[in-house]
Amino acid sequence: MFGYKQHSIRVLVVDEECVVRASLAALVSSWNGFQIIGGAETKHEALTQFRLCEPDVVLISLAGSEAIDTELVHELTRACGGSRVIVLVGQCTEDFVFQLMQCGAARFLGKCEHPTKLKEAIQDVYRRERAAIA
């Protein structure tokens, strides 16, 4: 299209469990137009990689209602304005979801959602961020 090169959506995956992180990275990178630019286990690693790699979207997978989970989401949303953060949550209480919403992430998805829902969420967050920049 007249010299236009499509930009891959650059995703940083954050989860404390290596297998989950690797699985999410494999899934997302299997989609055309998506690129995994890093994976982080801890809040410190996630913030460092965010600053170094400048991802388009940060995908955070959370296990449950631990204080560290909301702290991680809060720190990352503060670092990038929240507009680029998608949170995958497992089974959790309404209070936990409310706490996460207060942290300012762009989207929330249950871990039991179909992978196409995750793909659509990443694309939606990316489009919104690009529109806000333009």
Q: What is the CATH number of the domain that holds 103?
A: 3.40.50.2300
Q: Is the separation of the CB atoms in 85 and 76 below 8 Å?
A: yes
Number of compact structural domains in the chain = 1
Containing H/E element for 100?
Answer: helix 94-103
Answering whether pTM is above 0.85, one says yes
Its domain, for residue 79, covers 9-133
List pLDDT tens digits, range 67-114.
Answer: 667 788 888 888 877 678 998 988 767 777 777 778 888 888 888 899
Collapsing DSSP to helix, strand or coil, 19 comes out as: helix
List pLDDT tens digits, range 114-127.
Answer: 999 999 999 999 99
100 within domain boundaries: yes
3 within domain boundaries: no
15 within domain boundaries: yes
69 within domain boundaries: yes
80 within domain boundaries: yes
